[in-house]
Chains A and B, each alone.
Chain A
Amino acid sequence: MDFTFTEDEQMIIDAVHELGSEELQPHASEVAEAGEFPYEAIEMCREMDIFAIPVEEKWGGLGFGFLLWGAIGELLSYYCQTTGSVFGAHVLAQYPIMEFGTDEQKEKYLIPLTSGEHIGAFGLTEPNAGSDAGAVQTKAELHGDKYILNGTKIFISNGGVAETYVIIANLDPSKGTRGLTAFIIEKGTPGFEFGKDEKKMGWDALPNRELIFQDCEVPVENVLYKPGRGFRVAMGTLGVGRIGMAVGAVGLAQAAFDAAILYAQQREQFGQRIAEFQAIQFKLADMATEIEASRLLYQKSAWLKDQGEKFEKIASMAKLFSSETVSRVTSQAVQIHGGVGYTREFPVERYMRDAKLFEIVEGTSEIQRGIIANLLLRENHI
């Protein structure tokens, strides 16, 4: 196993460090406070070809692996959680088209998603289908050479802003997962509207919209993969999505840790820097250790994926461990800051609010434990 980067990859990482420190970080608090989509930051990422990393050169990509993609995602979340979250949600449309799309679909949809000209979103969750993806009620009915969609998705990241949506609908809700079908749907398609934008505890500048389909006609050529095989598309997407979530969690946790270790050496109480108290030192040691372990987990899952090996179990472990890590680490970062940590003068309170989501989105911690246990029992079947 080798997580070292080539000279070219290191050059890309350095360039993203520069972008992050010079352009993203200075505005990160402002962007979150304003609660508005970070168009400027995304435009800069687009100009830097950041969305092109894991895609084949044939489709306008750079042809690098998910290990590098992860390192870049971590940096984006480190410097600006909002930008990182848009990047994480974008791949949920880009990846399934890259993995399951036909050449025609790639030509039409993957190329603009890779250049960043178009932003992507992925719609699975519904009011009555969260952890239970098989309960999707959004119905797709075949009429000639079109499907007609009716139903509502909720919480969809990048909703409203994105041009390209990968939507999971059901041909026959009574069939559960066996009826699920993935569709590529363009913004502006008649019968496809946006509803409520959630007001949230964190991730303030990321839109999470309702997607409303009312007799929305989608041509058959926009079925992604095969009719009735949408569950496979959804699970494949979430597999990579989980690496993405782990990556974001590690970036955010590192930002919180860096803020905490800096503050601990500046703040004095009882005539000494608080970093000299063992109670603070032990917190810092635990935080750093957990971050390191989380990073190695996501790197291992990305590396396995790049080798074409089974990566799903490690990806779930990475997502589970890093999302619980980021919650603990950000909470400790606030603790180390004391009272000012609870104010909006310092970013750590925002980090703590942002952190919680990682334990919920793209499969809750409970669901991850279920997936991991299932895979373990399958591997160790007697």
Chain B
Amino acid sequence: MNIIVCIKQVPDTSEVRIDPETNTIIREGVPSIINPFDENAIEQAVQLVEEFGGKVTVLSMGPPQAEAALREAMAMGCDEAVLVSDRCFAASDTLATSYVLSAAIRRIGEYDLIFTGKQAFDGDTAQVPPGIAEQLGIPQVTFAIGLEVEGKKARVRRLLEDEFEVVEARMPVLISCVKQMNDPRRPGIKAKLAAKKKEVTVWDSACIEAKACLCGFDGSPTRVVRTFAPTRDIEGEKFEGEPAECAVTLVERLIGEKII
């Protein structure tokens, strides 16, 4: 079984601060980590290969520093790593990112499964996985919490707002993973040291035959007009006293405001 896992390197959200002037994330000095959901994707892939044999290739688009995330993924058990990196990829929106990743996946070649995280911690759009699947013309199953593989069939349990949904798809299929899917392993020291010595393949736009007009700024139809932190115009209100009385006051107020 050949599996590709797409991972994104993101700033460690536990240490992220927002610049109050510009309302953007301060990235300087913030350590980078593997997008947490992508660790679930890695774990799932590694478990499958442990069970059925095969190979896991981990793929990321990003600056040269993203190599660290790829090495961490190899320490967790991925066999090979590919970094697609090129100045012309800068300023890619989700469409352009999906295009570049799908071009890299074509170059990797044979695959049965592609795993991604459910969404990125920073960008947060959850658009890249469906984008990749569309570009490759393969089925996609998002928000996977469980997976069974039978021959060429993947049976996926999806985590929806208030229900589970079980769907079947023919492989190759792209599956995006949620946190509850598994408990990602903590790589041992031996695996970390071995991963440091492994090779990370680096491809630029020419290697993956990516068309310049579909990458980066030119390939990105989305324009960010403005970024801002949401403001709260109405202050919260606290009812104090006996719970039963508070409930009555609350209901009266909600009726008064025509909310219920």
Contact = CB atoms under 8 A, between A and B. Distances in A.
B182 to A, nearest CB: 15
A49 B186 contact: no
A19 B186 CA distance: 8
B41 to A, nearest CB: 20
B190 interface: yes
B206 interface: no
A62 B190 CA distance: 7
A235 interface: no
B260 interface: no
A8 B193 contact: yes
Contacts of B187: 15
A53 B185 CA distance: 20
A12 B189 contact: yes
A268 interface: no
Contact of B193 (A18, A23, A62): A62
B190 A47 contact: no
Interface residues of A, number: 15
A248 B121 CA distance: 38
A242 to B, nearest CB: 25
Interface string A156-172: 00000000000000000
Interface string B172-198: 000000000000011111101100100
Interface residues of B, number: 9
A304 interface: no
Contact of A52 (B186, B189, B192): B189
Contacts of A11: 192-193, 196
Contacts of B192: 11-12, 15
A142 interface: no
A376 interface: no
Contacts of A23: 186
B193 A52 contact: no
B190 A49 contact: yes
Contacts of B189: 12, 15, 48-50, 52-53, 62
A360 to B, nearest CB: 33
B111 to A, nearest CB: 29
A36 B114 CA distance: 43
Nearest to A22: B186
Interface string B148-164: 00000000000000000
Contacts of B196: 8, 11
Nearest to B189: A49
A48 B188 CA distance: 4
A44 interface: yes
Nearest to B31: A14
Most chain A Cβ neighbours within 10 Å, of B188, B192, B193, B196: B188
A48 B185 CA distance: 10
B235 to A, nearest CB: 28
B192 to A, nearest CB: 6
Most chain B Cβ neighbours within 10 Å, of A18, A44, A49, A52: A49
A18 to B, nearest CB: 8
Contacts of B185: 47
7 contacts: A11-B193, A12-B192, A15-B187, A47-B185, A49-B189, A50-B189, A52-B190
Interface of B: 185-190, 192-193, 196
Interface of A: 8, 11-12, 15, 18-19, 23, 44, 47-50, 52-53, 62
Given A8-B196, A47-B188, 5 more contacts: A8-B193, A11-B192, A12-B192, A15-B187, A47-B185
7 closest A-B pairs by beta carbon, nearest first, are A49-B189, A49-B188, A49-B190, A48-B188, A12-B189, A47-B188, A48-B189
